[in-house]
A and B are shown apart, each in its own frame.
Chain A
Amino acid sequence: DQQVKQNSPSLSVQEGRISILNCDYTNSMFDYFLWYKKYPAEGPTFLISISSIKDKNEDGRFTVFLNKSAKHLSLHIVPSQPGDSAVYFCAASANDYKLSFGAGTTVTVRA
């Protein structure tokens, strides 16, 4: 039973516009959330994270929002660039040094 769900397998967005990726979780013990980015034939690389004591974290063009009551987080990329085309994984941890991953969302940024 997947505890972290990304219900949109793919997202296509025009260059310069906003990309919004969504993630839902079921385990109320999760207290740390991360987004990873993955290019083909490479390992995932860390993008941005948020602790459960916050509801927003920003890093340049990337912002992660956390809604604990809804058990939902989202990643906003503004503006989207061609180099952002990749698979994005949402992950969560319950302070046990293990991560549960979502299935991923493939983002395609159109010129």
Chain B
Amino acid sequence: NAGVTQTPKFRVLKTGQSMTLLCAQDMNHEYMYWYRQDPGMGLRLIHYSVGEGTTAKGEVPDGYNVSRLKKQNFLLGLESAAPSQTSVYFCASIPGRRGIQETQYFGPGTRLLVL
């Protein structure tokens, strides 16, 4: 049981390049989340998904797109990277049982540097 995994661990992009970050979970969780962490800002929610085929915007969605074609995978895309997107990106998931407050399980993070 690997939990939540993220690919890649580290990436350097040039401004204007595109890339996709992959999050995978093997816990059969319904809900998945993408956050970014910046110094002095804590973790901010980018997009999230409440089930396969669904996505929703979080607090800071601009410049990002997401897809949840399979329940176990949640992809985060940057179509045209900007230096402001330099950050550490974390994926998280929860079972999503109705009416139950659950803690989020986090992946190890992807460090992205946009030059």
Contacts and interface: CB of A to CB of B under 8 A. Distances in A.
Interface of A: 2, 4, 6, 9, 32, 34, 36, 41-46, 49, 51, 89, 91, 93, 95, 97-99, 101-104
Contact of A44 (B43, B48, B96): B43
Contacts, number: 55
A9 B101 CA distance: 28
Contacts of B107: 43
B40 A93 contact: no
A41 B37 CA distance: 12
Interface residues of B, number: 26
A41 B88 CA distance: 10
A97 B31 contact: yes
Given A44-B90, A97-B31, A97-B50, A102 B104 contact: no
